[in-house]
Amino acid sequence: MIIRFYNAQILDCSDTFHIRSGDLYVTDDRISYIGPHRPDGPKCDREINLNGNLIIPGFKNAHTHSPMTFLRSFADDRPLDEWLNKSVFPMEAKLTPDKTYIFSIIALMEYLTSGITANFDMYFHVPAVAAASADCGFRTVICGCLNNFQESLEIMEEHYKNFNQPDSLLSYKLGFHAEYTTSRNLLEGIADMAARHEAPVFTHNSETLAEVEGCMSRYNKTPTALFEELGIHNFGGGGFHCVHLSEEDTRIFKDRGLFVVTNPASNLKLASGIAPVERYLRQGIPVAIGTDGPASNNCLDMFREMYLVTALQKQLMHDASACPAESVLDMAVTQGALAMGLFDCDKLAVGKKADLAVIDLNQPNMRPINDTVKNLVYSGSKQNVRLTMVNGKILYEDGLFYINQDVEEIYSKAAAFLHSMK
Amino acid sequence: MIIRFYNAQILDCSDTFHIRSGDLYVTDDRISYIGPHRPDGPKCDREINLNGNLIIPGFKNAHTHSPMTFLRSFADDRPLDEWLNKSVFPMEAKLTPDKTYIFSIIALMEYLTSGITANFDMYFHVPAVAAASADCGFRTVICGCLNNFQESLEIMEEHYKNFNQPDSLLSYKLGFHAEYTTSRNLLEGIADMAARHEAPVFTHNSETLAEVEGCMSRYNKTPTALFEELGIHNFGGGGFHCVHLSEEDTRIFKDRGLFVVTNPASNLKLASGIAPVERYLRQGIPVAIGTDGPASNNCLDMFREMYLVTALQKQLMHDASACPAESVLDMAVTQGALAMGLFDCDKLAVGKKADLAVIDLNQPNMRPINDTVKNLVYSGSKQNVRLTMVNGKILYEDGLFYINQDVEEIYSKAAAFLHSMK
For residue range B227-261, list pLDDT tens digits in order.
999 999 999 999 999 999 999 999 999 999 999 99
Checking if the pLDDT of B80 tops 80, the result is no
| Mean pLDDT taken over chain B | 96
pLDDT at residue B297, rounded to an integer: 83
User: B381 has which bridge partners?
Assistant: none
Q: What is the mean pLDDT of residues B111-120?
A: 98
Contact B316, B38 (CB under 8 A): no
Indicate which of A375, A381, A413, A420 best probes the interface with B, i.e. most B CBs within 10 Å of its own CB: A381
* Rounded average pLDDT over A363-385: 96
List CB contacts of B400: < 8 A, sequence separation 6 or more.
none
Where does the pLDDT of residue B402 fall: very low under 50, low under 70, confident under 90, or very high at 90 and above?
very high
pLDDT at A86: 84
Contacts of A273 in chain B (CB under 8 A): 315
Check if A257 contacts B (Cβ < 8 Å): no
Q: What is the pLDDT of residues B303-353, one digit of tens each?
A: 999 999 999 999 999 988 899 999 999 999 999 999 999 999 999 999 999
Q: Do A80 and B320 touch (CB under 8 A)?
A: yes
Q: Which of B267, B370, B411 sits opposite A367 (nearest CB)?
A: B411
Domain boundaries, chain A: 2-58+345-401
Please tell me the distance from the alpha carbon of residue A12 to that of residue A372, in angstroms, as a whole number: 12
CB contact under 8 A, B383 and A113: yes
Residue A81 pLDDT > 80? no
Chain A partners within 8 Å of B294 (Cβ): 379
The predicted model gives A254-271 an average pLDDT of 95
Domain B59-339 fold: TIM Barrel (3.20.20)
Mutate to test the interface with B, among A78, A362, A365, A407 (most CBs of B within 10 A): A365
Q: What DSSP assignment string belongs to A389-421?
A: EETTEEEEETTEE-SSS-HHHHHHHHHHHHHHH
Using an 8 Å CB-CB cutoff, list chain B residues near A94. Answer: none
Contacts of A80 in chain B (CB under 8 A): 320
* Partners of residue B260 on adjacent β-strands: B239, B287
DSSP element (H, E) containing B126 = helix B126-136
A323-339 pLDDT per residue, tens: 999 999 999 999 999 99
A109: chain B residues, CB-CB within 8 Å: 364
Give the H/E segment covering residue B20: strand B18-27
Of A79, A320, A411, the CB nearest to B79: A320
DSSP letter for A169, please: S
Quote the minimal CA–CA distance from B284 to chain A in Å: 20
Calpha distance B173→B198 (Å, rounded): 11
ipTM of the complex: 0.96
pLDDT at residue number B422: 87
Nearest residue on chain B to A267, alpha-carbon basis = B315
- CATH H-level superfamily of A2-58+345-401: Urease, subunit C, domain 1 (2.30.40.10)
Class of domain B2-58+352-401: mainly beta
Q: How confident is the model at residue A88 (pLDDT cuts 50, 70, 90)?
A: confident
Which residues 11-30 on chain A approach chain B with CB closer than 8 angstroms?
none
pLDDT digits (tens, 9 = 90+) for A94-148: 999 999 999 999 999 999 999 999 999 999 999 999 999 999 999 999 999 999 9
Q: Do B268 and A74 touch (CB under 8 A)?
A: no
Query: How far apart are the CA of B378 and the nearest CA of chain A, in angstroms?
Result: 6
pLDDT of residue A122: 97
Specify the pLDDT at position B76.
Answer: 84
pLDDT recorded at residue B86: 84
Q: How far is CA A333 from CA A254, A357, B35, B322, in A?
A: 21, 11, 48, 33
